[in-house]
Amino acid sequence: MSSANVSHRPGQPSHGARLVLIGLGVVLIGLAAFGIVRRLHARHDLTEETDRNAVATVATMMPKPAPKDQALTLPGTVASWQDAQIYARTTGYVAKWYVDIGARVKKSQKLADLDTPDVDNQLLQGKAQMRTDIANMNFAKITADRYDKLVKQGLVAAQTGDQYDAQYKADVATVEADEANVAHLQNLEDFKYIVAPFDGVITQRNLDIGALVDAGSTGANMFVIADTSKLRVYVDVPETYAASIKVGMPAEVGLNTYGAKPITGTVARTADALDPNTRTLRTEIDVDNSAQEMVPGVYANVKLAVSTTTKNYIVPANTLLFRSEGLRVALVDDTQHIHLQPVTLGRDFGNTVEVIEGLADQDRIVINPPDSLSEGQQVSIAELTQAQKQRLQ
């Protein structure tokens, strides 16, 4: 039986239908594979974008070297050239006082008088006793001379002559003791007149008429006097600049509170040793105050021309990170990883600060670092705009 006579069986798809079904399956499989590949590619792109966003982008700058020679302004305390608290050297009552606070006095000028009745009576008694002892001494001398003659003539024993000579010498010693006692009492008597020890201004008066004053410095002082013709200004120079402070170098002293023009002074002396607690050098600057433009006790600004042996840097204040472990700046290394570098600050200029320890010339410092930066974190570096570069100059 020939093929032409083969009949089609009912229920079986024809050859063309099978081809259509196979083609449709291939298309569906292709569409499914394309969708899967597209989703995988989109996921890969999303992963790469997420990774890129996870790496922080920062701007960096190089530290700017600070000038070696610079003007250093420090707070200072103004003190008088010399001052003294005046106490009574004898006990008595205030009879009169002649000067009050603000009075300018000369050396040996009388400040007050004391009434000292006890010392007066003791002085009178001491003088009377001395006169009695002088009379006894004179009589003992006459008696000793007479017995010395009798001893030479052999009329009395030598022992008797020696006895009267000894009595005379004892009376001489008694008179010498009386003279010392009277001199002491006379000194106490003279101390009833309170006088100025040097030229100056009275800054305190702590007495009134009738007040009892005791001898010595255990009680309150009577007056305080200060010599303000010259002034001493004390400043504490940081260790970094201590080596550049020399005796004789000029210093400019200004007083903001008085509005006066700055006065030029001279470094007179230094402590030649650093304070172990503050690591500063106590420095004294002498200022001529003959015009009385300054007063002791005020706050002063002292400007010194100093230099430093260390290499310091100037950086913007917004590069600093304040962490619990201390002050840090964020540096970017050659592999673009973060290193949190400890630094020590010098002077504060407001928008910029001086770093005296912790930086080097080629360090790349992160500008305005986020608080989330951590040690070893990967970052990418952004290029600064021209405006940002100009602001950093």
Cβ neighbours for 77, distance < 8 A, ≥ 6 positions apart? 233, 234, 235, 297, 299, 300
The rounded distance, in Å, linking the Cα atoms of 185 and 192 is 11
Q: What is the pLDDT of residue 42?
A: 67
Give this prediction's pTM. Answer: 0.60
Radius of gyration of the chain (CA): 50
According to DSSP H, which parts of 59-116 are helical? none
- Domains of the chain by start residue, with CATH: 57-66+311-392 (2.40.420.20), 73-79+227-307 (2.40.30.170), 117-191 (1.10.287)
Give ∠ CA 258-261-262 in degrees, rounded to 5. 105
E strand map for 158-312: 193-195, 200-205, 212-213, 223-238, 250-254, 263-274, 280-288, 299-307
Q: What is the pLDDT of residue 1?
A: 41
Nearest in space to 320 (alpha carbons), one of 336, 341, 338? 341
CB atoms within 10 A of CB 55: 12
Per-residue pLDDT in tens (0 to 9) along the chain, 393 residues = 444 444 445 555 666 777 777 777 777 777 777 777 777 776 766 655 555 556 788 888 888 888 777 788 899 999 999 999 999 989 899 999 999 999 999 999 999 999 999 999 999 999 999 999 999 999 999 999 998 888 888 888 888 888 989 999 999 999 999 999 999 999 999 999 999 999 999 999 999 999 998 887 777 889 999 999 999 999 999 887 888 899 999 999 988 766 667 889 999 999 999 999 999 999 999 999 888 888 888 889 999 988 776 788 889 999 999 988 889 999 999 888 989 999 988 878 888 998 888 898 889 999 988 888 888 888 888 876 655 555 555
The rounded distance, in Å, linking the Cα atoms of 202 and 111 is 10
Q: Which residues pair with 355 in a beta bridge?
A: 313, 345
Residue carrying structure tokens 């792109």: 45
CA dihedral 277, 278, 281, 285 (to 10 degrees): -120
For 196, the 3-state DSSP assignment is: coil
E strand map for 42-164: 56-61, 64-65, 69-86, 92-97, 104-105, 110-115
